[in-house]
Amino acid sequence: MLILHFIQCFFFFFQAEDGIRDAQESRGLGDVYKRQVVGLSPLAALLGLILLSPSSFETSANQSSDLAASGSSAEYLRLVGSTLTKPRYLLFTLYLLLCNATPDTGKVSFYFYSNALHLTEQQIAVCSSIDQAAILLSMLIYPHTFARKSVRWTMSWGVLIVTALQSSSLLLFSHSNRILGIPDFAAACMTTLICTCASNLTLVPLISLMAMMCPAGLEGIVFSFFSSVTNFSSDIVQAQSSSMAMKYFGIDAHNFSNIVQFQTCVLFLWLTPVALLWMLPTEEELLDISAGIEPSDDRDPIPEIPMKAVDVKARIMVDM
């Protein structure tokens, strides 16, 4: 297990900044060099796409005979490639890449809690525990809220509702909680609970949509591809966009003069799924995928009406 962990990770060594610990793995105190682990699980999944034999997967009914006859990795990769290069899959892949690349406020919040609000280690630990509890709470709330709505409703109106709830963090960053008589620690706990619980409500519909986008016979590899794109965007691209946003607004471990402007900009960027709603598949496309119908199939958009039914309808109109 240790060898597998070593294979899946790169180790970077860096000088800790002013003894500040952030939420990243293996960060430490003091002016010393620490280890930073960057997971490569998405790359491992893509490597498995190339190395695994196609005989270990159940292929679709339309192409199973071809793969059974050839049994080659080239044919399997050609099938996967032809599937993922279709317009509806390319649009959905781009949607996952862009929506998960928006800046994150986790690092800024930690610096703000430590150096602006001066919360103790015990208080930050309590906020971390509330963050984990909020994830479970969101799973209990989800069946009674967004689970009753369609995916498109969730990724449009649901995102607007979630972003409005997450805007409550502006009260803490602007110190408006002190005007209302709310202590900083209590405000930090409430902000953590609301923001974490709200953000996870839109996570389950997106994962469900990733599963529904998988064609028959290629469920495992297509879902792994979507997961790899999501992890790449959230782990790598999002880290770069967050750093660029912090640099643009001049925010670091000790300077928070523009944190309200930073948070406002990030909140607007979190509305990206609403602007990209047109990239999501329609209900008809999802039904076609589940039925194994290709978009290039010759199908009549309007079902044929029997001639007898037309005659009856014409008589009724004449009688009227």
The tokens describing 252, both together, are 């670091």
Residue of 155 and 64 predicted with greater confidence: 155
- In degrees, rounded to 5, the angle at the alpha carbon of residue 28 between the alpha carbons of residues 103 and 248 is 25
Q: Residue 196 above 70 pLDDT? A: yes
Residues in the chain: 320
Residue of 265 and 286 predicted with greater confidence: 265
Q: Residue 38 above 70 pLDDT? A: no
Q: Find tokens 């509330």 and name the residue.
A: 130
What DSSP state is assigned to residue 295?
Answer: T
Confidence of residue 6 (pLDDT cuts 50, 70, 90): very low
Q: Residue 50 above 70 pLDDT? A: no
Q: Residue 33 above 90 pLDDT? A: no
Residue of 101 and 73 predicted with greater confidence: 101
Confidence of residue 286 (pLDDT cuts 50, 70, 90): confident
Number of H helices, E strands in the chain: 19, 2
Please tell me the predicted confidence (pLDDT) of residue 116. Answer: 92
Q: What does the pLDDT look like over 214-243, one tens digit per residue?
A: 888 788 889 999 999 999 998 899 999 999
What gap in Å lies between CA 58 and CA 67, rounded to an integer? 10
Residue of 246 and 29 predicted with greater confidence: 246
Q: What does the pLDDT look like over 136-165, one tens digit per residue?
A: 999 899 988 888 888 889 999 999 999 999
Please tell me the predicted confidence (pLDDT) of residue 292. Answer: 67
What gap in Å lies between CA 172 and CA 191, rounded to an integer? 8
Mean pLDDT of the chain: 76
Confidence of residue 31 (pLDDT cuts 50, 70, 90): very low
Average pLDDT estimate for 105-131: 92
Element (H, E) at 34: strand 33-39
Please tell me the predicted confidence (pLDDT) of residue 293. Answer: 67
What gap in Å lies between CA 102 and CA 234, rounded to an integer? 8
Average pLDDT estimate for 35-53: 45
Please tell me the predicted confidence (pLDDT) of residue 69. Answer: 43
What gap in Å lies between CA 75 and CA 225, rounded to an integer? 18
Residue 87 has φ and ψ, to the nearest 5°, of: -55, -40
11 DSSP β-pair partners:
37
Average pLDDT estimate for 314-319: 40
Please tell me the predicted confidence (pLDDT) of residue 71. Answer: 53
Let me know: does 105 contact 263? Beta carbons within 8 Å.
yes
